[in-house]
Structure 1
C-alpha cells in the first residue's frame, strides 16, 4: 500500500477524559468586573515585518519546533486563559499531552484574512470543552489587543501532515496563542441537525434503489434523485415515510439525497450504482476504548473496483482527511470522526478531475 498522507486536526487525539481533566484545573478567567468588553476597530492584523512585537507566523512556527524539542517549554507560547499555559498545565501533563514521537520535517505558516471574534475563538475544541473558559474571558483577552489568524501546516518525517488555524493575540507586548484549530463558518450547507438516511439497498434485477429513512427523521423536506436516469422522488412530509424507491440507470448512475432544513438545502447522502461498479463497499464506525487517547473513527472499506487512482476520505466535522494512491489490493482506510455527529465524504481523482463517489452521515444512537 502506498503511504498515506493524513491531514488531521491539531491535537485531535486527546481523549475527552484528558480534556475534562484540563478543564477542571483551570481557574475561571473573567474581567475584573465580569463585564463583557468589545473588540475595538484598532484590533488589526499587523504585517509579518517591521512590527516591534515580532511576527505571529514566526511565533507559531517556533512554538511547533519547541514542542518537538521540549514539549513542556511550549506552554510559554500560550495566553494565560489557554489550558496549555504554565499556570494551567503541569510539566508532567505537558509531557504527556504535547509529546510527539515523529520528527518534524517542515512547517508552513501564513496569515489568513479572518475577523477574530469571541465566537471564532470559542470554536477551538479545547476552549469549547472547558466549562471554565467563559466568553467574557475571551472578550477580555481580545480587548485592545492586536490579533492574527495563522494558517499552519506541519509535516513529520513519516509523512503525516497536520493543518489547523491558530488565533494569535498580543499579550504583555508579545504574540501568544489564544486558540488552536478554530473552525470558521463555512459557506457549504452542512445541516448536521438533518437526520435522514438510515441505509440504501439495491435490487439489481429491477434496477431499483431503496432509500431507507431513520426512525426519527429530522428535515422539512427530502428529495431523492438519480443523476443519469432522472428518476426522482420528493416529499414535504418525510417524517411520514419509511423509504422511497428510485430507478437508476443500470449502465451507471448515482443516487443523491438532499435534505432541506429551515429553508436551506444540502446533499446528505450519495451512492454509486450498480453495486458492481461501486468503489466504497461500506462505512463502519468504531468507538475508541475508554483508556485510548485516539479519537472515534470511521472505517471506509473498498470494494476492489477502485483500481489505481487517488482516493480521499474526509470527515467534514472532525476535519481529518486521508489521501492515498490506491490499488485493487487496498481494502480499507480509517478516518477520525466527531462522536457527536459527522459526515464522511469519499472522493476520487483521475487526471486531475475529482468526483465525490460516496457521502454519508454518522448519527450517534
Structure 2
C-alpha cells in the first residue's frame, strides 16, 4: 500500500497540503523548494516555516530513505543500499563521468523476470516501488555527490514496465520537479506484453531500451524464462509499433555471455532480425556474479560480434559496465550484503 508522503507531490498538490495544515498558500512554494532543491529529510528542517508548525508536523513523513550501506569503486562509481520506510533494501548507483552524473535507479524491490544471469532475478520479487521511492534514489545520489544529476536510467532492480504507473509518475516528477530533461531519462525493459504500446501512447521523449539478449525465441527463453510469455516476433512487432507511434528509435540491450549468445551465427541472426529497424544496439560484456557460471567473452569475440552487426549496417556500441569493484551488477551488492548480514537486510 502506498504511504502518504510529500516527496513526489507536485507544486499544486503541496500547496493544497500546506493550506490544509493551516498555512498560507505561498508556503507551498517554499515547501516545494526545500523538498526538491534543498533535499530535506524532515519537515522540522524547513527553517523558514513557523517553529510551532515545524514541531507539530515533525513526524509527518517526507518520503526519504536512509543510506544503509555504500561502496565506491576506483572509477568513482558509488553503489548504495537504501533502507525504505518498511525496512526493505533497494539498490541504486551513481555513475560519474567528466561531464555528467548518471543515476541507475531501481523500480522494484527484487524482480519477477528471473533472468538467469541477473543477481536481482535470483533474489525474487518483493514489491513495487512507489514514485517517491524512485525519486528519492536520485536525490540521495545528488546529495552524496554534491552534484546535480544529469541523467537517470531505469536499469536497476526490477522490471519498469511491470510497475508502469509508478514509473511514469516518477518520470514526470524527475522531469518537472527535479528538472531533468526527458531526453536524459532511459527506461529499460525485458518486455511485458502490451506495456510497450501503453508506454508509447504517453508520447514521452525518453530513451527506450529493450533487453533482447538473444536473436531468437528459443535462446531467449533459455536465459530469460519469462520470455515464454512473450514470443520474440511479437516483442519486435510491438517495438516497431513503438517507433511508429513515437518516431523515436529503440535501443536494444544485448548482454554477451561467453559461449551462450556471442557466436558469429548469433550476430548474423540478430542483424537479420533488426534489419530496417530504427534502432541502436548496445553490446554489454557480461558482468559476472557468483550465483551463476556465465562468463564474459574475450575482446576478440566481442569485436567480431560488433563487426558483423556493422557489416549488416546495424548501429552498434560496446558498453562496458562501470564500478565492477563495487559489485555494480544489478542486485549484486544487495545479494552479497544479504549473505553477509542476513539479520539486517530484508
Q: Tell me whether the two structures share a fold, i.e. TM-score over 0.5.
A: no
Larger relative strand fraction:
1
When normalised by structure 2's length, the TM-score is 0.25
Q: Rg: which structure is higher?
A: 1
More helix by share: 2
TM-score (norm 1): 0.24
